[in-house]
Each structure stands twice: as C-alpha cells, then as structure tokens.
A and B are shown apart, each in its own frame.
Chain A
Amino acid sequence: MNGRIAYIASNTFREAVRDRVLYNLIAFALLMSGAAILVGQISIGIERLVVINLGLTAVSLFGIVIAIFIGIGLVSKEIDKRTLYTVLSRPVQRWEFIVGKFFGLAGTLIVNAFFMALGVFAALFYVSRHFQGSDGWVLVALYFIILQFLIITSLALLFSSFSSPLLSAVFAFALFVIGTFAEDLRGFAGLTKGIVRWLATGAAYLVPNFSALNVISSVAHEQPVARQLILSNTAYALVYAGVALCGAVLIFERRNLK
C-alpha cells in the first residue's frame, strides 16, 4: 500500500474510533452476555446452535449498519465540510483518497468484528464449557461476514461518490436486502421467459450475492464449509468490491468539488 493511502486509511480509522463507533461493542457484549445466560437456562441441547446463530447474525448486522452509515458519509461529508480541499490540494490523487477511505473503514469493521468474535466464542464457552472441532467453521462464517463488509463498504463508497448521504443509505441498504435474496432472484429468473428472463437474470447477477456469503445456519448446525466455496466466495467478494471501488474512483475523478 502506498504511503498516502495508508495515512488516509489510518485517519479514517481514527475518525471512526473517536466518533465512538466502537461503542457498539458494548451493546454487542450486553446482547451476548444476556443471550448466553438466557439460553443456558431455557434451551436444552441447542445452546450452541442458538448462540452461534444469534452471535454471528449480530456480528453481521452490526457491521453492515456501521459500514452503510459510515460509508455513505466517507466522501460526501468531506465535500460538504470542505475538509477535502486541503487534502486534494496536496500531492494526493483522487483514487488514492477513495482507496484510503475504503481501507480505513474496512479496517474499522475488521477490528470491530474481531472483538465481536471474541464475544461469540466467550458466549460459546460459557454455554458448553468447552470448544470443539466444528467451532473452527465459525471462523469461516466470520470470514464470509468480513467479505460482506468489503462489498457493502465499496458500494456505500460508490453511492457516496455521487449521491446524497440519505439516498446513498437507501441504495446501499436496498442492495443489501436484495443481495440477501440473490439466490431466490436467480431462481425466479430461471422460471421466466423472453425479455423478462434477460432482465431478471441481469439483475440477479448485478446485485451482490450475499446469500452465498451467509453460512451462519449451516455452521450453527456443525456442517463443514467446502474449500471450493471459500475460494469462490473470496474471489467473488474481491472482484465485486474492486469493481465497485473502480466505479467510485471513476465517478469521483470527474467530479467538480463546488
């Protein structure tokens, strides 16, 4: 990573920390503690399943909400507050600014997810008093959640590069919801004919396939994740985020900062 990108990323991370974004960890810790205690009392034999399902879903949702609500302001806030002027009048290229912002927010989300993962494993240990081999797949599910964060961050940045924060939030959240049902959309496309089939297929492949990146349920049921899926999901997320980031750069490169 070039120096300027690293400096911008580091400043973005520092902004998130000072804006108390990581305070969500307190809410998460309370949720996991409460869930672990409650589940331990009311569930018989399915404590682990409930804790993994609840914990990983919370990690995903907390992260997605942070990615959208910080991501949509990454560029537009800097334009509105004119903090960008003193950055871009230095030897900083516009693409470096966008990429630096991306890595800064991605880093924040990864650190956030790391602490949440510790919480999930602590809750798991609390309810079953031991770890088992299949718990390793929880790490794979967490890895897929981080891949989701990369995609949603790049999309939020893409929208932020040309749209208002409110519209960017709506677009990003809508894509997240549609992307969660991407497999169903692909199934629907297969049932249609003619131009509708073309349109539905196009839309199904255009939206991010978050359903392929969601293995929470199978991991909770102690089912292994295929190595092929890990590779293909990694490649898919990196390419999708890369393309969205390129789009953000292309738009931002042409933009007049009035």
Chain B
Amino acid sequence: MKGGRFSPAIMTAIDILGLEKTYSVGFWRKKPKCALKPLHLSVDEGEIFGFLGPNGAGKTTTLKMLMGLVYPTGGSAKILGMDINDPRMKAQIGFLPEQPYFYDYLTAGELLNYYGQLSGVPAKDRERRVREVLDRVGLPDVIRVQLRKFSKGMLQRVGIAQAILHDPRIVFFDEPMSGLDPMGRREVRDLMEQLKHEGKTVFFSTHILSDAEALCDRVAIIHLGELRSVGAVADLTSSVEGKVELIWHGNKIPAAMKALGADCHITGDTVRAVLLEGNQDAALEALRREQLRIISLIPVRTSLEEYFVRKLQPSKAVAGVTS
C-alpha cells in the first residue's frame, strides 16, 4: 500500500519491486545504457492508474517487462500476486501495445477468435464475446472485413477489443489514445471508466495529460527512466500557488488593480484577474467601489500539466509526493 493510504480490503493488483533495465549498446556491447532505474510502484485493484512521461521516459520498457517481452536486469514484479511470467496470471490480463499492428490477412472476427483461442476463451462463448467486444469498441459491422482495409484508428479500436476480449481483471494500455480522433478518444475514455465500474484495474501509459487528469485515480510520473512522482491526481494538483483568480462582470478594469499587480484579461463581458492572495481584500474593495458585480473568487491550483512540467525539470527533480 503506497502513500500512506491504508485499506486492508483492497488487494494489490500490480506490485513492482525495483524493476530495472539496462541495455548493452555499442559495437562490442560493452557500453551500458540505462532504460529504467529501479522502479518501485504498486497499483491497487480497481484503480485507473496513469503512467505518465515524455517520449523515451521508460514507460513502454516498463510495460514490456511486465508483459514478459523484455527481461529485467534487476528487481521483480508481481501481478495479482503471481510472477510476471506465470501463464495463469497472463490469462487474467489484457494488453494493448503502442501503435498495434495485427495479422492483416485476417478479418477482425478471425483475429479476435484466434486471440480468444490463445487466451482460453471456451469455444461456445467465443463468437458471442467477439461480437460483444467489437460492438463495445464501436466496430459492430467489421467482423468479416480484413484488417489490411482498416484505418489507424480502427486498428487501435481492434487493439482495445483484443485486450478486453477474455474479460481480464487487469488491462494494460500503452498510449491507448494514439491515432484516435477526438470522438474516438472520448469513447476510449468512457470505456476505461466502464472497465473501472466493472471492478477492473486499468494501467495505462500516456503523455496526454488531459486524459490522465480526467481519468486516473492515481498517476506516476517517469522521466529518463526514473520515477519522479506518484500519487492521487487530486493530491498532486491541490497545492495552492498563493494566488487567487477573481472574475467580475463587465469590461472595466479599476485603476487600483494595476497597482495591486493583477494580471487582467477581458473575455466577452467578463474580466479575469490573477493576483497575489494577500492583495485579494484590497482588490475586492476596489471592485465594490466601482460597483462591479463579482462572479467568483477562487484559489489558483496547480494543473497536472504544470506539475508534470515541474517534475521534468532536472533541478527540481524530487521524490514522490505520496509514495
């Protein structure tokens, strides 16, 4: 259990214990290149967990190690309490790789049937499951269409379908929104929320912070193979910057506002000003004097994007907030 959260009823879905990966590069393969520094992370069952980081941060390497595609050079990990190479565990997880590519000589129905066979879905249920998942990802009419005729967005949807086909307990998505249009992204977000409501654990990597902010219970930020922070989205973005945002009706800016150092912007028939918290009483007084109608006064909070950018700056690299 991480971050001081104590809930003995919740089971740990993913437990990463110092997983690390170093590749040997160069002509003689003697030069070590660290792709992932020892990573400690745990994800509870039923969570939507976002694994954030810029390109090349080590997100895909971590996912590949968890899937048994790349072998770690140190550490270990357990999924649902089982070793990452245990076939019993693999029957209970689903995986969508980044920019998935499938056997394009197969139809969508044949591909999903094949994956159903490999995942041990009983023959009597397979056809029904295939139709259900295709329907769920918004591709109800392509069961007999060869994958070579699919667009990138359609392939991404088929990728999601194959990941949830066998009703896994944990779903790993590597950049699930990649290649999708805004409607597609919205649908995938809805799907991930549905999976959470069904009690599934969703672990997904992304560098699209708005997706993470909208979906995740917790996120981890990774950069240059190193975990920079992990915690609940609300905790990471709750720090007040000592500033307030004041909005009033009209398009008049009192002269006192400038003296108070307020940063004012007029949008339509409202004015938005950001100023230091210590100056808020004086600002309110100035607005009252001018008889301007105040719409709102709220503290300025750090957005996930600002938090993310701060964590990626080397000088400010610090350990996790709640880990």
* Chain A residues packing against B (C-beta within 8 Å): 3-4, 7-8, 11, 14-15, 18-19, 81-93, 254, 256-258
Q: Are B105 and A7 in contact (CB under 8 A)?
A: no
Q: Across the two chains, which residue of chain A brings its CB closest to B110?
A: A14
Bound-state Cα–Cα, A7 to B93, Å:
20
Q: Are B90 and A11 in contact (CB under 8 A)?
A: no
Select the stretch in B11-19, B116-124, B263-271 that faces chain A: B116-124
Bound-state Cα–Cα, A84 to B93, Å:
16
Are A258 and B70 CB-contacts (below 8 A) given A11-B103, A14-B105, A89-B90?
yes
Q: A83-B103, A86-B115, A91-B119 are in contact. List 12 more A-B contacts (CB 8 A).
A: A3-B117, A7-B114, A14-B110, A82-B101, A85-B67, A86-B100, A86-B162, A89-B172, A90-B91, A90-B115, A91-B120, A92-B87
Of the candidates B67, B87, B95, B105, the one whose C-beta lies within 8 Å of that of A15 is B105
In the complex, what residues of A have CB within 8 A of residue B115's CB? Answer: 86, 90
Bound-state Cα–Cα, A102 to B71, Å:
25
* Chain B residues packing against A (C-beta within 8 Å): 23, 64, 67-71, 87-88, 90-91, 93, 95, 97, 99-103, 105-106, 110, 114-115, 117-120, 159, 162, 172
Of the candidates B71, B90, B97, B110, the one whose C-beta lies within 8 Å of that of A90 is B90
Most buried by A among B23, B95, B118, B119: B118
Q: Are B95 and A85 in contact (CB under 8 A)?
A: yes
23 contacts across the A-B interface (CB closer than 8 A):
A3-B117, A4-B118, A7-B118, A8-B118, A15-B103, A15-B105, A82-B101, A83-B101, A85-B100, A88-B67, A89-B68, A89-B69, A89-B90, A89-B93, A89-B95, A90-B90, A90-B118, A91-B118, A91-B119, A256-B23, A256-B71, A257-B69, A257-B70
> A74 → chain B, closest Cβ, in Å?
13
Bound-state Cα–Cα, A14 to B104, Å:
12
> B13 → chain A, closest Cβ, in Å?
16
Q: Are B70 and A256 in contact (CB under 8 A)?
A: yes
In the complex, what residues of A have CB within 8 A of residue B162's CB? Answer: 86
> B89 → chain A, closest Cβ, in Å?
8
In the complex, what residues of B have CB within 8 A of residue A258's CB? Answer: 70
Q: Are A82 and B117 in contact (CB under 8 A)?
A: no
Q: Across the two chains, which residue of chain A brings its CB closest to B73?
A: A256
Are A87 and B105 CB-contacts (below 8 A) given A82-B100, A257-B70?
no
Are A91 and B103 CB-contacts (below 8 A) given A82-B97, A86-B115?
no
> B83 → chain A, closest Cβ, in Å?
13
Q: Are B114 and A19 in contact (CB under 8 A)?
A: no
Bound-state Cα–Cα, A87 to B102, Å:
10
Bound-state Cα–Cα, A152 to B254, Å:
87
> A23 → chain B, closest Cβ, in Å?
14
In the complex, what residues of B have CB within 8 A of residue A254's CB? Answer: 71
In the complex, what residues of B have CB within 8 A of residue A87's CB? Answer: 118
> B72 → chain A, closest Cβ, in Å?
10
Bound-state Cα–Cα, A256 to B99, Å:
19
> A257 → chain B, closest Cβ, in Å?
4
Bound-state Cα–Cα, A4 to B95, Å:
18
> A240 → chain B, closest Cβ, in Å?
29
Q: Are B95 and A92 in contact (CB under 8 A)?
A: no
Of the candidates B68, B87, B95, B106, the one whose C-beta lies within 8 Å of that of A86 is B95
> A128 → chain B, closest Cβ, in Å?
42
In the complex, what residues of A have CB within 8 A of residue B67's CB? Answer: 85, 88-89
> A177 → chain B, closest Cβ, in Å?
31
> A73 → chain B, closest Cβ, in Å?
13
Of the candidates A11, A81, A89, A91, the one whose C-beta lies within 8 Å of that of B114 is A11
